[in-house]
A and B are shown apart, each in its own frame.
Chain A
Amino acid sequence: MEAGKTALAQTTSLLSGGPPVQVVPYVPEPGVPGLTITPGTANPFAGADGSGGSGSGGTSGTGGGTAGDSDALGTMLGQSWGLTAVSNATALGVNPSALAATCVVESGCQNVAGSGTVAGAFQMTASTYTAMINAALAQNPALASQIVPGLAGQMDPATESIAASEYLLQGAQYLQANGVSDPTVLDVRGYYNFGPAGGAAIANASPDATMSSVLYNYSAATLASNGVTPGETVAQWQASVAAKIGNASTQPVTI
């Protein structure tokens, strides 16, 4: 929980000669390499177009909402495991609405099988699930007492919610390490779908760019399996995701 709080405390000022000044986490994040941020000088771009360079996050550019209630959260709380999932997200410093938005988009918050090793309400691959559940338990060992052990946990929504929360937390931290000061649920959707480098690429792309041009090394088949249609732009993809997520899309991922 504390690691998430320290990440949220990062300043939004824009600098050159180095990224923004950062509060040094006192609880290391398992699975994420350590970062040393070297402060720089004032950003030469600030105000270049008269906007003043607000430092807003990602392509969605909001970095702005307030963590809290949402339509997605209502959907997740309608499940028998919803309240446990909210508790798990909070224990890891993740906005429960961000977790809820993930299951809404991935499965409608239904515990279903997917293609390949993808499974569960949060539709994680087996390898990602394993990496994230291990990282989450290393961060918060108290969660170990309530999980279904092994890969069987992937099909237990309450257990998979722990891994999904960790993945969202790491996604927010990765985007922060790529200069997105306060990643929103919509920003981190790119990370959840397309991995660390892909998520950062979407956050830094022109909204008019095609998803297939930004995700240069993704095959058309992989893009299609992730719901990207031929010629779809970043803005169109984000709008379609935002329409599914609803009012959680502009909320922050961490609390």
Chain B
Amino acid sequence: MPKKLSHVAAAAICLIAAQANAERPHVVRVIPGYTCKVLNITEAQSMDPTFHTPYFSQPSAGSPVVGFAGLEVAVKSPLHTVNGFDEAMFPNGGTVWIQANLLKDYHSVSDPTAKCVPVLMSNGRQGFDFPH
């Protein structure tokens, strides 16, 4: 009986995992004209729930905040810097601006051979791929 129950549980877990996989978007293509930068923040800052890095609608800290950045940022390539702000792409494809001094080149401390590339996902959103 215990063995039978464990098979049932395993089947349920596989079903849930399969459903999750079926609904997950995939990479369609690389987005030309953009490159990947990352927020220049520590692990502790990443975990801090009050630490938010804003996207602005214009290259000015006085312009409206239109969103917050994830760890990776898709910036215009070659860099388009105005007034200390880099032009970047919001995940919905829109143009936003982020303070240039908050960004640095991508390098993963625990996956050092990985690269970061802005991509178009199958759900129509801008995402990131990390090829090796």
Contact present for A214 and B128 (CB under 8 Å): yes
Q: Which residue of A lies closest to B114 (CB)?
A: A213
Q: Considering only CB atoms and an 8 Å cut-off, how many residues of chain B contact the other chain?
A: 63
Q: How far is the CB of A49 from chain B (nearest CB, A)?
A: 5
Interface flags for B79-116 (1: CB within 8 Å of A; 0: not) read 00000000000111111100000000011111100101
Which B residue's beta carbon lies closest to that of A186?
B20
Query: Contacts of A210 on B, CB cut-off 8 Å?
Result: 111, 114, 130
Say yes or no: is B47 at the interface (Cβ < 8 Å to chain A).
yes
Q: A31 — which chain B residues lie within 8 A by C-beta?
A: 49-50
> Closest CB of chain B to A153's CB: distance in Å?
17
Q: Are B92 and A19 in contact (CB under 8 A)?
A: yes
Which A180-217 residues have C-beta < 8 A from chain B? Answer: 180, 186, 194-201, 203-210, 212-217
A148 at the binding interface (Cβ < 8 Å):
no
The answer to whether B46 touches A218, judged by C-beta atoms less than 8 angstroms apart, is yes
Contact A213 B116, beta carbon cutoff 8 Å: yes
Q: Given that A206-B130, A242-B20 are contacting pairs, would A51 and B72 also be in contact in the complex, using a CB cutoff of 8 Å?
A: no
In the complex, the answer to whether B20 meets A55 with C-beta atoms within 8 Å is: no
| B119 in contact (CB, < 8 A) | yes
Once the chains are docked, how many angstroms separate the CA of A11 from the CA of B31? Answer: 25
**A44: CB under 8 A from chain B?**
yes
Please name all residues of chain B whose beta carbon is closer than 8 Å to the beta carbon of A131 when the two chains form the complex: 49-50
With A18-B57, A33-B54 as contacts: A212 and B124 at CB distance below 8 Å: no
Contact A222 B90 (CB under 8 A): no
CA distance A235 to B19 in the complex (A): 12
A246 at the interface (CB under 8 A from B): yes
Which of A17, A40, A54, A213 is in CB contact (< 8 Å) with B123? A54
Please name all residues of chain A whose beta carbon is closer than 8 Å to the beta carbon of B108 when the two chains form the complex.
212-213, 215-216
Max chain B Cβ within 10 angstroms of own Cβ: one of A32, A125, A132, A207: A207
- Assess whether A217 is in contact with B17, with CB atoms less than 8 Å apart: no
A-B pairs, 10 with minimum CB distance? A53-B124, A200-B70, A179-B91, A36-B64, A213-B114, A213-B130, A201-B71, A209-B130, A239-B17, A212-B111
Interface residues of A (CB under 8 A from B): 14-20, 31-38, 40, 43-49, 51-56, 59-62, 125, 127-128, 131-132, 167, 170, 174, 177-180, 186, 194-201, 203-210, 212-220, 222-223, 235, 238-240, 242-243, 246-247, 249-250
**Could you list some 24 contacts between A and B, CB below 8 A?**
A16-B92, A18-B95, A19-B90, A20-B92, A31-B50, A37-B66, A49-B28, A54-B124, A55-B123, A55-B125, A61-B25, A61-B123, A125-B47, A167-B49, A174-B52, A177-B67, A197-B39, A201-B71, A205-B130, A206-B128, A210-B114, A219-B110, A242-B16, A242-B19
